[in-house]
Amino acid sequence: MPSPPARAASALLGFVAIGMSGIGIGGASAQGTDWSRQVTRIIAAKQSYPLSAQKRGEEGTARIRVYVNASGVVEKTELLGGSGSAALDREAMALPRRAGTLPPPPGGPRSLTLPITWRLM
């Protein structure tokens, strides 16, 4: 029997409704929105699709909240919503630290919420 066609793996970090909130600060400014887009791009560049999850055909979207201090250092990452795959959730939690020091947020410490999606194509 021929083997099933290979499917390409795609790892996507979405910029869909990134929830940005200041820690002790009010709503998002234009400057804060620019910062969140920049941070999203930096973190997205570090995203990969774990081979173990690919082999098992696992797909999903994890939602994480990243806490960044005034110097741009990731203080903490929380898993807000699991992807349905432990391997993908671990990858989501590792991304912010793998990105290293981020640009300092305008106005002091901030947190942002990111949806991170993995799909087999």
- Cα 112 to Cα 14: distance, rounded to the nearest angstrom: 12
| pLDDT exceeds 80 at position 55 | yes
Number of domains in the chain: 1
Helix, strand, or coil (residue 42): helix
68 located within any domain: yes
Domain containing residue 50 = 26-111
- Cα 23 to Cα 48: distance, rounded to the nearest angstrom: 29
Q: What is the pLDDT of residue 31?
A: 79
Mean pLDDT of the chain: 83
- Cα 76 to Cα 50: distance, rounded to the nearest angstrom: 22
Q: What is the pLDDT of residue 49?
A: 94
The CATH number covering residue 98 comes to 3.30.1150.10
